[in-house]
Structure 1
Amino acid sequence: MIDLYYWPTPNGHKITLFLEEAGLEYAIKPVDIGKGAQFEPEYLKISPNNKMPAIVDHAPVDGGAPIPVFESGAILLYLANKTGRFLGFSAGADAGAQLRQRVLVNEWLFWQMGGLGPMTGQYGHFHVYAPEDISYAKDRYRKEAERLLGVLDKQLGGRDFIAGGEYSIADMAAYPWISPYDKAPLDLAPFANVRRWQAAIRERPATQRAYALSKQVNPDAGKTLTDAEKQVLFGQGAR
């Protein structure tokens, strides 16, 4: 059994996408980030960066004590290695093919973690949540989000999925961050390969099950944040 500490955000969706695809048994532990649940002492023992998601695997492959994992990319890698699935190669691939596909998947997983997620997140912050209209910031992050979409579109040319013909954790990481802000949608018209890829993943039954969890866990998902929730989410410093 895996405990999933979750709230319906793009990073949270990454993990439900994997768990639903893999058919692993898991229990959702809601972490209401608008109310500050991510700062509770018990949660910080699992996720010291006070971010969501996190997991606790109560049945690790070594048969030992439960293993906690925080950071969505690290969780995807952990689950992929635990199951031997979604690493970009088929079960019968030889060692050389496996090595090269692992490298490719890891590259694009870290590309999402270091680029697409943070830059699109900043785009969303300044277009949706910021209390001031800062045109420079809005333009800066729109251009960077569009640049990254262009990089992804080029990679998807002639490929079904990011790392080739196999659906992988690189796809699961990137998919939730493709224009995730309904109130400030990015223009995907120039990125035909991204749109094709996005539509194919959207139609997967596991994707539909994963996203159906949003309203179950947070019936208010999509509503405007209150000032108090914004303070919790965006007002934290070292103290």
Structure 2
Amino acid sequence: MIRDCRANRAEGWAYFISNYVPVTRTILTHYFQPDAAGRVMERILLALRQPESSLFASVEPVPERPFVAELRQHVLALAERFEPAAAPEITVDLETLATALEPLSVVEKQAAWLETMRYAPGQSGTLLRMAPVTVEKIRERAAELIRHKTDAWRRTLLWDNGLQLGRAAAASSGSQCLPAKIFLDVLDGRSTWRGREDMEHHVRGCWHCIDRFCRLVEVVELLRANRPLTGGEAEPLRKLFGVATEKRPAWKRLFGQA
């Protein structure tokens, strides 16, 4: 698909529409208010429909989950450009957060970071395979650690600063940061004990990788719940993208199948 979209081929865009427009909608409605998401959806899709976009720049095959993780970053960046969110009343920067939460383990940092990604304890518990009450306890501890490192504080500080913290974490990569495959091996149960130990040794002190790990956890759930569009649902988007309508075989037209 990536190669076809980069070459501006109809089949690539048709596949993108059917499979990844639903993901785009889910991302928007999770991170933004419904009215804001509705206002920017079409503009975001048209911005994504650019063969020269960095989203389609890779000449090597890209697995689906890393692609969707990158799609998420593009969608959020475009949404913020088209519909800038109001600055939070009380801010916290990534450095302060990192210092405050240094005592936490990797999974505890994930539970805290998912709050910046606007996942409630129940949702975070599903993503991390953890009881919601455990997530709540971790977040209460994290909140206290942060409160002692800031001059101004409120319980929703991470939630309110989520987009800004996410941008800062994404921009803080270093030469030792881990590729997506390492995290996916852990999530899929393919990592060895030593491999997981090495991963955690790095990730515990790297908020870029905490963020990336959490984004991939999010992507796994996004794709698990994703339902591709039917032909009828995709048709208006094909017109928006300037993609020719796919002709159905005669037997499908005869029996009225999409």
Specify if TM > 0.5.
no
Whichever structure has more strand as a proportion of its residues is 1
Question: Structure 2 length as normaliser, TM-score?
Answer: 0.27
Question: Structure 1 length as normaliser, TM-score?
Answer: 0.28
